[in-house]
Amino acid sequence: MPFLGQDWRSPGWRWIKTEDGWKRSEPFSPALEEGNNQLNDLSHTVIITGDDEDEEIYSTEDCKFAAKKRKKDHFRNNTDSQCFYREKWIYVHKESTRERHGYCTLGEAFNRLDFSSAVQDIRRFNYVVKLLQLIAKSQLTSLSGAAQKNYFNILDKIMQKVMEDHYNPRLIKDLLQDLSSTLCILIRGVGKSVLVGNINIWICRLETILLWQQQLKNLQMNKQVSNGLTLSDLPLHMLNNILYRFSDGWDIITLGQVTPTLYMLSEDRQLWKKLCQYHFAEKQFCRHLILSENGHIDWKLMYFALQKYYPVKEQYGDTLHFCRHCSILFWKDTGHPCTASDPDTCLMPVSPQHFIDLFKF
* Pairing status of strand 15-18 against strand 21-24: antiparallel
3-state SS, residue 3: coil
Q: Which residues contact 196 (CB under 8 A, 6 or more apart)?
A: 143, 144, 145, 148
Please give the pLDDT value at position 224.
61
Where the chain has pLDDT below 50, the residues are 1-11, 28-29, 31-32, 35-36, 38-60, 62-63, 66, 69-70, 74-75, 77-84
Q: What percent of the chain is modeled with pLDDT above 70?
A: 71
Q: What is the pLDDT of residue 97?
A: 63
Give domain limits for the chain: 89-219+316-358, 248-309
Chain segment 145-182, per-residue pLDDT in tens: 889 999 999 999 999 999 888 888 888 999 999 999 99
Burial 74-97 (b: 16+ CB within 10 A, else e): bbeeebeebebbebbbbbbbeeee
CA 146, distance to chain mean position in Å, is 14
pLDDT score for 145: 87
- C-alpha distances in Å from residue 271, one per residue of 119, 246, 268, 276: 31, 10, 5, 9
pLDDT at 285: 81
